[in-house]
């Protein structure tokens, strides 16, 4: 077991509290690292107008995250070496980071943007860090611990992880690798929501094992890297073809029983284990791999197949080769094209031997009778004609032929610069107010609620501009950022399969049949797209209450309340967590009698904002061309007669065709306003007469006569 990282981590942890009032010195170290082209955290903050400003604060957790996140091994070493020299640390920089939980690159900060964080947030992190560094876990102030958990950017997972970095013998990290290991090994589910539940979790672990927390974390890391792809079966024999410019075909197992398939498909990679062999490029011959394989793993059986897979993965697969991802010996679950050279990624916790792949199709297709593919990696080029029918089924015969003959893929860059992403145009609160008629203070309040809650619903009667307001709010949120917004409309037939994910039939024309394919729904597609930026992304759900929300949302009901947690979806795929930068705005028509009331469970997960008719918007949009004062007066009369804010007449009826509104007003009134009033006053039809067009056009609305 290698835990050589602990001494220098403890030395740095004990020293870093001295920089509480010298945060600029820590930032200077990071800026100088960046100037050396080393990957550090983002050093730009955001002000209230979403403008980039220099980052002026730093806390111990975020500082440690610079060398404990998803960056290459050599970069982690160089970063820590530089910090050691600048801070005059005595302990050695480790040659192995095995067992250290790592932060997600997309959320390495332990605090939010400047415009989101509260004034005391950074101080709380310094207080928490000092306590974690110098105290026993049971001496930690539970109130302080729980206050940190309520902060933007802090969760039980990353807070426990950071405390483990500082003081690994006192704190157990709740990262996903530890969680899987402790569940499988000890039957303990490492999920906590506050200090007390965290203490109870650690007690449970201590009751079932005497191992130190660093040893548990190391064993979990080893457990995650184990490859279980051995299958005793007759397999397709290896191909001994000479090297040529020909495109090769391969079957490939993304872990035992394809357990990493969803992860690899999402990341656009293929990867294999046997990580302790190190960088496979250093083995020049197959025999070198076999010899070292035996030295490292001491297998009971001849490791020829596994060693050959390692050699071929690093040396023989080429860019533009075709990959058939498989599950078991007879099922193909994905098709892709290799798009990068081999690389050994030390930043990964497991399966560190990696190639980029452009995955073209995901599904389920079975090999013909008598064909099997049992090894982790097999060159099937000599049998490519037998596999051609799967390409035809999955991609269509025309495209599969083109793919086989001349498809070429350029190398994929591993990093996409944040600054290269296209920014949205600026959209201000003032513009929002002018275009909608809403008060500036109301808009600011809505914006604050969206930032705080992350999920809001604009509710109101017909025509009050709920969807219009939602779109303007989305534009405000993504102003001058690389974020985006999209709209989906719910309806009674909308389902979990439409919104989250589900199996869909995909036709197989040649067989006049179909196969089922797991397809992501609108929300999963949106979240995948949102992960490509750090900025806010907004999903607008129009008519949110017209669907059966408990059925449509499924596990999302849990995730909306516990945004920092992940949960396994009903399909059995990997854990899903709503990205930090995803916001939801719903709209709800309060006059729709055909739908059930929104239950209290949903109301607890959203902030509900009442939208009422904004007559000022009529003046803004129509005042220069039409007599809006009389129209506003009549609408006020009607809404007073209605006497229920859930059924008021809104203004959007008159904003759809402003060019010929006076000409179209009789039709709008008689075909849209009057039927609505007839339905509302169905038990007292005489009330409608005063508001019929034929009466109004000769009186209150005579200046609208055409």
Spell out the domains of the chain, with CATH numbers in brackets.
Answer: 6-225 (no CATH), 249-406 (3.10.590.10), 429-503+521-610 (3.40.50.300), 615-704 (no CATH)
Which residue's structure tokens are 């060159």?
A: 379
pLDDT at 476 over 50: yes
* 40 vs 103: CA distance, rounded Å: 12
In this model, does residue 269 exceed pLDDT 80?
A: yes
What is the pLDDT at residue 246?
Answer: 59
Closest of 610, 630, 623, 626 to residue 698, by C-alpha: 630
Residue 118's CB is within 10 A of a number of other CB atoms, namely: 13
The answer to whether residues 72 and 345 touch, using CB atoms and an 8 Å cutoff, is yes
Among the residue ranges 141-145, 191-195, 213-217, the one predicted with the least confidence is 191-195
- How high is the pLDDT of residue 374? 62
Structure tokens at 702: 């005579």
Locate tokens 């028509």: which residue? 589
Residue 450, phi-psi category: left (phi > 0), alpha (psi -120 to 50), beta (remainder): alpha
Q: Is the pLDDT of residue 236 over 70?
A: no
Residue 121, pLDDT > 90, answer yes
Length of the chain: 706
Beta strands in 297-348 (DSSP E): 322-327, 331-338, 343-344
pLDDT at 49 over 60: yes
pLDDT of 599:
62
Rounded to whole angstroms, the Cα distance separating 232 from 224 reads 22
Query: What are 134's two structure tokens?
Result: 């110098």
Quick check: 270 and 334 in contact, CB under 8 A?
Answer: no
Q: Which residue is listed with tokens 């109101």?
A: 460
pLDDT of residue 422: 67
Among the listed residues 121, 106, 44, 36, the one whose alpha carbon sits nearest the alpha carbon of residue 71: 106
What pLDDT is recorded for position 300? Answer: 63
* Residue 508 predicted with pLDDT over 80: no
**Other residues' Cβ atoms within 10 Å of the Cβ of residue 422:** 6
pLDDT at residue 512, as a whole number: 54
What is the model's pLDDT at position 233?
32
The pLDDT value given to residue 408: 42
Number of Cβ atoms within 10 Å of the Cβ of 397: 14
CB atoms within 10 A of CB 669: 21
Q: How confident is the model at residue 396 (pLDDT cuts 50, 70, 90)?
A: low
> What gap in Å lies between CA 425 and CA 44, rounded to an integer?
20
Look at 170 and 482; give whichever has higher pLDDT. Answer: 170
Beta-bridged to residue 118, according to DSSP, are none
Region 585-612 average pLDDT: 77
Q: How far apart are the first and last CA of the chain?
A: 88
Cβ pair 132, 140 in contact under 8 A = yes
Q: Does 405 have pLDDT greater than 60? A: no
Helices 615-622, 628-642: inter-axial angle, 10-degree rounding: 160
Do the beta carbons of residue 480 and residue 50 sit within 8 Å? Answer: yes
3-state SS string for 490-514:
CCCCCCHHHHCEEEEEEEEHHHCEE
Residue 616: both structure tokens together = 């000022």
Question: 600 pLDDT band (50/70/90 cuts)?
Answer: low
Q: Which of 695, 692, 680 is nearest to 649 (CA)?
A: 680
Alpha-carbon Rg for the chain, nearest whole angstrom, is: 30
Q: What is the pLDDT of residue 692?
A: 92
Task: Report the pLDDT averaged over residues 676-693.
Answer: 89
Chain-centre distance of CA 517, in angstroms? 22
Res. 241: pLDDT tops 60: no
Min mean pLDDT across 186-200, 219-233, 410-424, 461-475 is at: 410-424
């Amino acid at each position: 077991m290698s835990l050589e990282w602990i001494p220098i981590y403890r030395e740095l942890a004990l020293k870093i509290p001295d920089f509480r009032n010298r945060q600029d010195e820590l930032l200077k170290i990071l800026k100088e690292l960046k100037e050396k082209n080393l990957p550090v955290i983002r050093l730009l903050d955001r002000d209230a107008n979403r403008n980039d400003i220099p980052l002026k604060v730093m806390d111990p957790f975020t500082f440690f995250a610079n060398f404990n996140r998803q960056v290459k091994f050599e970069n982690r070493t160089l970063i820590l070496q530089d910090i050691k020299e600048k801070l005059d640390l005595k302990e050695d920089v480790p040659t192995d980071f095995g067992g250290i939980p790592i932060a997600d690159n997309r959320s390495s900060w332990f605090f939010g943007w400047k415009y989101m964080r509260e004034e005391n947030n950074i101080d709380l992190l310094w207080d928490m860090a000092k306590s974690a560094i110098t105290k026993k876990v049971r001496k930690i102030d539970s109130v302080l611990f729980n206050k940190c958990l309520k902060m933007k950017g802090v969760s039980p997972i990353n807070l426990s992880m950071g405390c483990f970095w500082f003081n690994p013998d006192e704190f157990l990290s709740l990262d996903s690798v530890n969680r899987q290991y402790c569940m499988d090994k000890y039957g303990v589910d490492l999920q906590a929501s506050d200090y007390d539940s965290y203490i109870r979790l650690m007690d449970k672990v201590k009751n079932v094992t005497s191992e130190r927390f660093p040893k548990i974390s190391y064993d979990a890391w080893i457990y995650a890297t184990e490859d279980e792809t051995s299958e005793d079966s007759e397999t397709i024999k290896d191909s001994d073809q000479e090297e040529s410019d020909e495109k090769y075909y391969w079957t490939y197992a993304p872990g035992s029983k394809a357990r990493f398939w969803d992860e690899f498909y999402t990341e656009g990679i293929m990867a294999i284990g046997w990580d302790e062999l190190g960088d496979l490029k250093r083995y020049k011959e197959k025999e070198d791999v076999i010899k070292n394989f035996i030295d490292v793993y001491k297998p009971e059986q001849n490791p020829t197949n596994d060693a050959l897979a390692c050699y071929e993965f690093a040396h023989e697969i080429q860019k533009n080769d075709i990959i058939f991802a498989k599950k078991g010996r007879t099922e193909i679950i994905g098709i892709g094209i290799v798009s990068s050279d081999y690389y050994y990624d030390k930043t990964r916790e497991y399966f560190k031997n990696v190639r980029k792949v452009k995955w073209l199709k995901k599904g389920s297709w079975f090999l013909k009778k008598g064909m099997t593919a049992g090894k982790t990696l097999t060159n099937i080029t000599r049998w490519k004609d037998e596999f051609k029918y799967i390409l035809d089924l999955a991609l269509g015969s025309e495209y599969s032929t083109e793919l086989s003959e001349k498809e070429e893929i350029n190398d994929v860059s591993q990093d996409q610069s944040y600054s290269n992403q296209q920014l949205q145009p600026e959209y201000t609160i003032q513009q929002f107010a002018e275009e909608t008629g809403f008060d500036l203070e109301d808009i600011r309040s809505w914006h604050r609620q969206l930032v705080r809650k992350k999920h809001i619903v604009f509710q109101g009667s017909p025509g009050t501009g709920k969807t219009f307001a939602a779109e303007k709010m989305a534009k405000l949120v993504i102003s001058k950022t690389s974020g985006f917004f999209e709209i989906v409309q719910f309806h009674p037939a909308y389902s979990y399969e439409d919104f989250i994910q589900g199996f869909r039939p995909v036709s197989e024309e040649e067989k006049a049949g179909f196969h089922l394919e797991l397809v992501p729904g609108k929300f999963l597609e949106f979240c995948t797209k949102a992960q490509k930026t750090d900025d806010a992304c907004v999903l607008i759900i129009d008519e949110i209450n017209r669907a059966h929300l408990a059925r449509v949302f499924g596990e999302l009901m849990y995730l909306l309340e516990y945004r920092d947690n992940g949960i396994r979806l009903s399909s059995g795929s990997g854990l899903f967590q709503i990205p930090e930068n995803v916001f939801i705005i719903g709209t709800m028509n309060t006059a729709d009698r055909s739908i059930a009331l929104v239950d209290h469970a949903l109301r607890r997960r959203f902030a509900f904002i009442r939208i009422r008719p904004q007559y000022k918007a009529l003046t803004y949009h129509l005042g220069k061309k039409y007599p809006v004062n009389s129209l506003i007066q009549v609408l006020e009369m009607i809404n007073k007669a209605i006497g229920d804010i859930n059924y008021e007449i809104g203004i959007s009826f008159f904003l759809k065709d402003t060019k010929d509104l006076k000409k179209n007003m009789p039709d709008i009134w008689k075909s849209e306003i009057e039927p609505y009033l007839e339905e509302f006053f169905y038990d007292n039809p005489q009330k409608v007469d005063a508001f019929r067009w034929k009466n109004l056009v000769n009186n209150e609305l005579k200046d609208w006569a055409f």
